[in-house]
RNA sequence: GCGGAAAUAGCUCAGCUGGUAGAGCAUCAGUUUCCCAAACUGAAGGCCGCGGGUUCGAAUCCCGUUUUCCGCUCCA
């Protein structure tokens, strides 16, 4: 990371806090690691990103509908999805090499070694002891076994081990008022399962025909071992996911199509194409037969913002198995032989974007420190060049000075416009200062009421990016601003 | 999790070999001002991250702890 990009990232974080976009969670209590709150402008920007995604994915597609499923779900769902078994491993660190291992794997290796050396008695005894400890989730016992059997770190060669700790990706809590009897409930680590378990409900109630999609925006929770880099990896984060159900055998066409469609969604915001790249997964997850990330060139390197996965019929098949409910779809369309495709479990293409990462990307991409120095005077401004559709505040209204009836006139204009747009009114400080303050939060337009306004009802409208002004009729403002902040600019 | 660094007003920072806190900007109340920041007057704002120790006395020295940053590690 060069000094410049490092500085940029730090400046964006500082700017985000100073201007009410992102605050560290629980800050007055020293903060809570890897949890952040969105402030007055951050939540507006975040909502606008959600709206853009929802409109592009749901409203623009007749065969995609949205849902909002609960964060709490039946614990069996996470058994079926593979999250319970796949993501709770007993881990142990070697203090000398700083390497981390799965405790059970170290023991398995030792058992294999005993077997190879013909010490089958020892191998068997250790196997039984280990299985017992794993079954009882007896972590101290696992460590004892590692010590007893003199297992050394292959890297450092030492036996200087930490305690065995359980790393579980999922947060858990209890359902029911009496903790003793309560069932263990997980906070969902992904929103996708809420879609899969409702796939039949939606398909039937909406009379959906394949191919069709179900979209959802919602919070997910992962107990990351290490969470860092601001809002890139948070313990509580928000996903925007769409699961697209297709006929088996057609999944690769759809995979390719969604890959392109999703990249276009990003590029429509005007971001430099060179900032984006696709990253194909070589090693695939257990449920996928193809996977690609859309990566953005953050100041600390290319990082995943969105994933497009071909998830096969893994999830629906698993739910069919675990719930005992048929997940199949009857496809009445005729194939090449003139026979209906009939019953099958659909294949799924998933598009999944991290809203918080998208938010950070948007902030970094918009952040600009512009040098406006002239020979006489040093000057600079900090401006967020947000797309007008995304800007938290669409316009600010200023009386040029705080007297002569200008504030009243400005208020009058504001009262009409605020029905359509999120606005700010400011009369304090010099006009230039007010312009700069709006630049810092990305407000695309500033409307100024001056003495001429009182005579002919015209105002000046000042554009954030160019700092140019034009004089327009106050009565036309709703049309002028409406056109510039319309979602049509992004969707068509 | 390991190693290194940092933490003083809302922000950026100063504060000497220990003697109980300072600037600029921002904020607030006025003054001034007809279009691009830092004009004038005044006010407010600090358990010097937290806890302990050394000392007559700690922002300053020592130990612990929390948080953040950097590297390593991890990342379905």
Rg (CA), chain A: 28
The spacing between the Cα labelled CA in A474 and the C1' in B23, in angstroms, equals 45
SS3 for chain A is CCHHHHHHHHHHHHHHHHCCCEEECCHHHCCCCCCEEECHHHHHHHHHHHHHHHHHHHHCCCCEEEECCCCECCHHHHHHHCHHHHCEEEEEEECCCCCEEEHHHHHHHHHHHHHHCCCHHHHHHHHHHHHHHHHCCCHHHHHHHHHHCCCCCCCCCCCCECCCEEEECCCEEEECCCCCCCEEEEECCCCHHHHHCCHHHHHHHCCCCCCEEEEEEEEEECCCCCCCCHHHCCCEEEEEEEEEEECCCCHHHHHHHHHHHHHHHHHCCCCCHHHEEEEECCCCCCCCCEEEEEEEEECCEEEEEEEEEEEECHHHHHHHHHHCCCCCEEEEEECCCCCEEEEECCEEEEEEEEHHHHHHHHHHHHEEEEECCCCCCCCEEEEECCCCCCCCCCEEEEECCCCCCHHHHHHHHHHHHCCCCCEEECCCCCHHHHHHHHHHHCCCEEEEECHHHHHHCEEEEEECCCCCEEEEEHHHHHHHHHHHCCCHHHHC
The answer to whether A390 and A382 are in contact (CB under 8 A) is: no
Rounded distance between C-alpha atoms, residue A219 and residue A190, angstroms? 8
Residue A63, domain member (yes or no): yes
Question: What pTM was computed for the model?
Answer: 0.86
On whether residue A175 sits in a domain, the answer given is no
Q: What is the Cα–Cα distance from A44 to A31, expressed in whole angstroms?
A: 23
Q: Are residues A219 and A323 in the same domain?
A: yes
- Residue A368 included in any domain: no
Domain boundary among A306, A341, A363: A363
Our measurement of CA A12 to C1' B49, in angstroms, reads 23
Structure tokens at A219: 């919070």
pLDDT of residue A1: 38
* Same domain (yes/no): A108, A247: no
Residue nearest to nucleotide B7 (CA to C1'): A30
Partners of A211 in the β-ladder: none
pLDDT at res. A226 = 62
- A351, A306 contact by CB (below 8 A): yes
The token pair at A234 is 């948070």
At which residue do the structure tokens 């747009």 appear?
Answer: A421
* Residue A181 falls inside a structural domain: no
Number of folded domains in chain A? 3
Are residues A337 and A426 located together in one domain of the fold? no
Distance A24 CA to B23 C1' (A): 28
CATH code at A11? 3.30.930.10
Could you tell me if A337 and A285 lie in one domain? Answer: yes
- Residue A181, classified by CB atoms within 10 Å of its CB into exposed (0-12), middle (13-18) or buried (19+), is exposed
Query: Does nucleic acid strand B have an atom less than 7 angstroms from the CB of A18?
Result: yes
Give nearest nucleotide to A304 (CA–C1'): B75
Shared domain check, A160 and A36: no
Residue A206 shares a structural domain with residue A284? yes
Does A178 map to a domain?
A: no
Chain B bases near protein Cβ (<7 Å): 1-2, 10-12, 26-29, 32-39, 49, 66-76
Nucleotide nearest to A406 (CA to C1'): B34
At residue A276, the pLDDT reads: 92
In this structure, are A53 and A202 located in the same domain? yes
Distance A328 CA to B16 C1' (A): 79
Indicate the residue among A110, A138, A168 that finishes a domain: A168
Residues 96-115 of A with CB under 7 A from strand B: 98-100
**Which domain CATH number covers A147?**
3.30.40.230
Looking at the structure, tell me whether residues A202 and A336 fall in a common domain: yes
Per-residue model confidence (pLDDT) at position A222: 84
The tens-digit pLDDT sequence of chain A (492 residues) is 344 666 788 888 888 888 889 888 887 776 777 788 898 899 999 999 999 999 999 999 999 999 999 999 998 999 898 887 765 567 776 666 556 677 777 787 778 788 888 888 888 888 888 777 777 767 778 777 887 787 776 666 667 677 776 666 788 888 876 655 567 888 999 999 999 999 999 999 999 999 999 999 999 988 766 666 777 788 888 999 999 999 999 999 999 999 999 999 999 999 999 999 998 887 677 778 899 999 998 887 788 899 999 999 999 999 999 999 999 999 999 988 989 999 999 999 999 999 999 999 999 999 988 888 777 777 778 899 999 999 999 999 999 988 888 999 999 999 999 999 999 999 888 898 899 999 999 999 999 999 999 999 999 999 999 999 999 999 999 999 999 999 999 998
User: Residue A145's pLDDT is what?
Assistant: 81
In chain A, which residues from 62 to 91 place their CB closer than 7 Å to nucleic acid strand B?
A: 86-87
Question: Are A232 and A344 contained in the same domain?
Answer: yes
Report yes or no on A46 lying in a domain. Answer: yes
What the block records as the tokens of A196 is 């899969």
Here the ipTM equals 0.81
Last residue of a domain, one of A337, A363, A389: A363
* Nearest nucleotide, CA A432 to C1': B36
Residue ranges making up the domain that contains A356:
3-72+187-363
Give the CATH number for residue A470: 3.40.50.800
Q: How far apart are CA A411 and CA A408, in angstroms?
A: 5
Residue A388 has a pLDDT of 96
A116 and A45 together in one domain: no
> Is residue A206 in some structural domain?
yes
Are A395 and A461 within one domain? Answer: yes
How many residues are there in chain A? 492
* A430, part of any domain: yes
Q: For A153-160, which contacts have Cβ atoms below 8 Å and span 24 or more sequence positions? A: A153/A94, A153/A96, A153/A97, A153/A99, A153/A101, A155/A94, A155/A97, A155/A99, A156/A94, A156/A96, A156/A97, A156/A99, A158/A94, A158/A95, A158/A96, A158/A97, A160/A94, A160/A95, A160/A96
**Is the same domain home to A356 and A237?**
yes
What does each C-alpha distance from A195 to A292, A305, A474 come to in angstroms?
Answer: 21, 21, 48
């Amino acid at each position: 990371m060069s000094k410049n990009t490092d500085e940029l990232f730090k400046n964006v974080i500082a700017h985000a806090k100073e201007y009410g976009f992102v605050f560290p969670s629980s800050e007055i209590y020293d903060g809570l690691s890897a949890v952040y709150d969105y402030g007055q402008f951050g939540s507006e920007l975040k909502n606008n990103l959600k709206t853009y995604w929802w409109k592009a994915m749901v409203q623009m597609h007749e065969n995609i509908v949205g849902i909002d499923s609960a964060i709490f779900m039946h614990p069996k769902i996470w058994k079926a999805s593979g999250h319970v078994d796949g993501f709770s491993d007993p881990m142990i660190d070697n203090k000398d090499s700083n390497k981390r291992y799965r405790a059970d794997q170290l023991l398995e290796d030792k058992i294999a070694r005993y077997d190879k050396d013909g010490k089958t008695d020892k191998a068997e005894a250790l196997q039984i002891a280990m299985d017992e400890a794993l079954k009882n989730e007896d972590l101290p016992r696992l460590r004892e076994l590692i010590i007893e059997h003199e297992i050394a770190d292959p890297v450092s060669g030492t036996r200087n081990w930490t305690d065995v700790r359980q790393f579980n990706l999922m947060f858990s809590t209890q359902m029911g008022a009496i903790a003793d009897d309560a069932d263990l409930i997980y906070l969902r680590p992904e929103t996708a399962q809420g879609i899969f378990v409702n796939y039949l409900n939606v398909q039937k109630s909406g009379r959906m025909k394949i191919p069709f999609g179900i979209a959802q925006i919602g919070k997910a929770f992962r107990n990351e071992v290490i969470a860092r880099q601001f809002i890139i990896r948070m313990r509580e984060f928000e996903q925007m996911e769409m699961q697209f159900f297709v006929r088996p055998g057609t999944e690769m066409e759809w995979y390719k199509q969604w890959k392109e469609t999703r990249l276009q969604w990003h590029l429509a915001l005007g971001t430099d194409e060179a900032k984006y790249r696709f990253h194909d997964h070589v090693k695939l997850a257990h449920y996928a037969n193809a996977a690609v990330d859309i990566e953005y060139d953050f100041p600390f390197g290319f990082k995943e913002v969105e994933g497009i996965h071909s998830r096969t019929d893994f999830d629906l098949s698993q739910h069919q198995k675990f719930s005992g409910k048929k997940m199949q779809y009857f496809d009445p369309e005729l194939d090449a032989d003139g026979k209906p495709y009939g019953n099958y479990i659909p294949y799924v293409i998933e598009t999944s974007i991290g809203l918080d990462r998208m938010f950070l990307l948007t902030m970094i991409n918009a952040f600009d420190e512009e040098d406006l120095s002239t020979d006489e005077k040093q000057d600079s401004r900090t401006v967020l060049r947000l797309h007008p559709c995304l800007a938290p505040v669409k316009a600010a209204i200023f009386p040029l000075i705080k007297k002569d009836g200008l504030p009243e006139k400005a208020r009058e204009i504001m009262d009409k416009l605020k029905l359509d747009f999120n606005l700010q009114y400011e009369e304090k400080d010099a006009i230039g200062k007010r312009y700069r303050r709006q630049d810092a939060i990305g407000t695309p337009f500033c409307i100024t009421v001056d003495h001429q306004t009182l005579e002919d009802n015209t105002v000046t409208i000042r554009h954030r990016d160019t700092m140019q002004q034009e004089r327009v009729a106050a009565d036309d403002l709703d049309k002028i601003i409406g056109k510039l902040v319309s979602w049509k600019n992004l969707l068509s």
